[in-house]
Amino acid sequence: DPKIIQKPKYLVAVTGSEKILICEQYLGHNAMYWYRQSAKKPLEFMFSYSYQKLMDNQTASSRFQPQSSKKNHLDLQITALKPDDSATYFCASSQGWGGAQNTLYFGAGTRLSVL
């Protein structure tokens, strides 16, 4: 059974609308992350959280807002969607915070298409 659950797997949205991507991890980890990958681009880091606190934000736009209601949840709210937001969004977690010192575990991703 997958230990990191992302919902939905696929999402189609209209330009200007708002969507929430869900991520839950059942590994007992303390750190969670969001990455995204657009076509032919690197897997790009967006946010990291540790014990539900934002630790790092590499996303320039305030349209992307992570939400952590519980330690094992890190949802991603995206407002005023644009076609350029079309990508696969990956949630990840690790025991401690820091991608080099800790092994990252990823969900299967949510593929978002904005029309």
Partner 1 sequence: GDSVTQTEGPVTVSESESLIINCTYSATSIAYPNLFWYVRYPGEGLQLLLKVITAGQKGSSRGFEATYNKETTSFHLQKASVQESDSAVYYCALGDTQGGRALIFGTGTTVSVSP
105 counts as binding partner 1 under rule CB under 8 A? yes
Site for partner 1 in 44-63 (CB under 8 A): 44-45, 48, 50, 55-56, 58
Place of tokens 């539900």: 52
Interface residue with partner 1, options 19, 32, 64, 97 (CB under 8 A): 97
Who's near 4: CB < 8 A, 6+ residues apart?
A: 23, 24, 25, 26, 27, 91, 92, 93, 105, 106, 107, 108
Q: Residues in the site for partner 1, rule: CB under 8 A?
A: 2, 4, 33, 35, 37, 40-45, 48, 50, 55-56, 58, 90, 92, 97-101, 103-109
